């Protein structure tokens, strides 16, 4: 991802409608499945930490941990969220097996530098049995733009194209939606 994009995201994610809506969607999914549980949540590919900050505010009983491949983004995420943030790849997470109650990942499977199958295997290796994995991915190839180039986006997904990436994982049938869901 271009360095300038991290700067843009850092400046925009607390106030821009798109980031706020995305954070709200993650919080909605986590509320649905976590039921007030305590434990540790990993934000895999945490960028500059805006989602970690939102989750930490909404779920004070959770310990939040992040990981990002970019050292400068990881440092900013630490500063913004107050959480522990490691520098590392989602393709080879620097954490023990079954370490996390829940995991979030925003737009990670879409990046050129990420092997989606390896990232999915690593996510499920690090989740506790019965853990929750909330992921979002860019959809609709026709929405690709110059932003995709700046963040080194390589692929967009539909439910049909994402499910094979997650195949082989010990999943209950995944739930998915396109856009905000408020039920």
d(CA 12, CA 34): 28
Query: What is the pLDDT, as a whole number, of residue 10?
Result: 85
Print pLDDT tens along the chain (183 aa). Answer: 778 778 878 888 989 898 899 999 999 999 988 978 899 999 999 999 999 999 999 999 999 999 999 999 999 999 999 999 999 999 999 999 999 999 999 988 886 788 988 999 999 999 999 899 998 887 767 776 777 677 666 676 677 777 777 776 665 555 655 554 443
Domains in the chain: boundaries: 3-26+38-162
Please give the structure tokens belonging to residue 25: 């969607």
pLDDT at 6: 82
Which pTM does this prediction carry? Answer: 0.86
Domain 3-26+38-162 architecture: 3-Layer(aba) Sandwich (3.40)
Q: Are 54 and 27 in contact (CB under 8 A)?
A: yes
């Amino acid at each position: 991802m271009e360095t300038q994009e991290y700067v843009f995201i850092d400046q925009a994610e607390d106030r821009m409608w798109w980031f706020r809506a995305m954070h709200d969607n993650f919080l909605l999914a986590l509320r649905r499945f976590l039921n007030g549980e305590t434990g540790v949540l990993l934000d895999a590919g945490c960028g500059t930490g805006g989602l970690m900050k939102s989750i930490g505010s909404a779920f004070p009983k959770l310990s939040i941990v992040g990981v990002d491949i970019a050292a400068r983004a990881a440092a900013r995420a630490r500063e913004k969220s107050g959480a522990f943030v490691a520098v590392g790849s989602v393709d080879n997470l620097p954490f023990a097996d079954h370490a996390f109650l829940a995991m979030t990942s925003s737009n990670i499977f879409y990046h050129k530098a990420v092997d989606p199958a390896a990232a999915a295997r690593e996510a499920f290796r690090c989740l506790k049995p019965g853990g929750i994995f909330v992921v979002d991915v860019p959809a609709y190839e026709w929405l690709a733009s110059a932003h995709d180039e700046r963040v080194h986006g390589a692929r967009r997904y539909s439910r049909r194209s994402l499910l094979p990436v997650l195949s082989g994982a010990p999943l209950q049938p995944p739930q998915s939606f396109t856009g905000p869901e408020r039920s």
